[in-house]
Copies of this chain bind each other. A is one copy, B any other.
């Protein structure tokens, strides 16, 4: 096997960070190191976990030959750490929201924070490879997309770019996510008894992922109705998107529009007529599955998109971006299919 690049993970006790570790352990081109942002006891890790751990300090990293750092942390930690990582000559893939938005005003409005390194907002590449892969390849800072926006974007961008939609009818995105999307910190909201046998809507018309969706899909804020809902499942997102075509359109025509963008994409699967994706189909995989139903006369189109929020919505997409940075195969380490 060729020499593998050392890559470091900050936030490896969280769900995204742990999933990242799992993927990287069998990756042919990367060798993971765990970077301790705070001291982590052995008892917090799975029995037998023996990946090397070092403190997340720039001097330590330099000595270890780490070339890329994944930040699977809160936005605050990411804003503080990123400039140091870049200054130390390493590249950075940030899984938080710290570099996804383009203006400090958006951070003030949606996250109620003053951005501490606004000079990097313009530089960060938005890491959705299906649309921005060439920019990612040459970046030293990749803003890994949010989970909900990843699915919205992949489902909608071809139709927006090709002007297939009647925008006056609005874009309705009814999104449902597993609980791991809320992170591993315990709260009443993630308590088993509050979630099981339940479904609840939250952040209706007011979700933090809205500005990211707006920016990357080029939809206007007044057009988009986005609702997030908490499913009683561990992982996975299903988004049901309601739009209206600008003119009468057949299923096959819409299919052709998707194929134009995704025919050669390894991680986007367009479903045949009459079938729609569900969450199980993408569990533990880096796929985004997309299906749709059309009612030609009324121009109504319903699109169903599914991803695993921890893979294509977080760790898997981060590895896909890493593959682009390393120049190895974009699908390396990412081709597993969903288990039964």
Contacts and interface: CB of A to CB of B under 8 A. Distances in A.
B192 A191 contact: yes
A34 to B, nearest CB: 14
A100 interface: no
Most chain B beta-carbon neighbours within 10 Å: one of A19, A222, A271, A335: A222
Interface string A24-45: 0110000000000000000100
A225 B196 contact: no
A232 B340 contact: no
A141 interface: no
B339 A225 contact: no
A297 B220 CA distance: 13
Interface stretch (A115-123, A130-138, A279-287): A279-287
A204 B47 contact: no
B310 A340 contact: yes
A278 B199 contact: yes
A336 B47 contact: no
Contact of A232 (B174, B196, B335): B196
A197 interface: yes
A52 interface: no
Interface stretch (A53-61, A102-110, A235-243): A235-243
A209 to B, nearest CB: 16
A293 B179 contact: no
Interface in A249-304: 269, 271-272, 275-281, 283-284, 289, 293, 295, 297-298, 300, 302, 304
B295 A205 contact: yes
Contacts of A295: 205, 222
Interface residues of A, number: 81
A190 interface: yes
Interface stretch (A3-11, A146-154, A181-189, A318-326): A181-189
B47 A198 contact: no
A192 B235 CA distance: 11
A319 to B, nearest CB: 14
A297 B205 CA distance: 13
A233 interface: yes
Contacts of A340: 15, 18-19, 22, 180, 193, 235, 310
Interface string A305-340: 000001000000000000000000000000111111
B187 A186 contact: yes
Given A227-B240, A232-B231, A232-B232, A192 B196 contact: yes
B190 A193 contact: yes
Most chain B beta-carbon neighbours within 10 Å: one of A169, A179, A192, A335: A192
Interface of A: 15, 18-19, 22, 25-26, 43, 46-48, 169-170, 172, 174, 176, 178-180, 184, 186-188, 190-202, 204-206, 221-223, 225, 227, 229, 231-236, 238, 240, 242, 244, 269, 271-272, 275-281, 283-284, 289, 293, 295, 297-298, 300, 302, 304, 310, 335-340
Given A172-B174, A194-B280, A336-B336, 6 more contacts: A174-B174, A197-B234, A197-B279, A201-B278, A284-B284, A310-B339
By Cβ-Cβ distance, the 10 closest A-B pairs, closest first, are: A200-B278, A186-B186, A222-B298, A174-B174, A179-B192, A204-B293, A192-B195, A198-B280, A197-B233, A19-B340
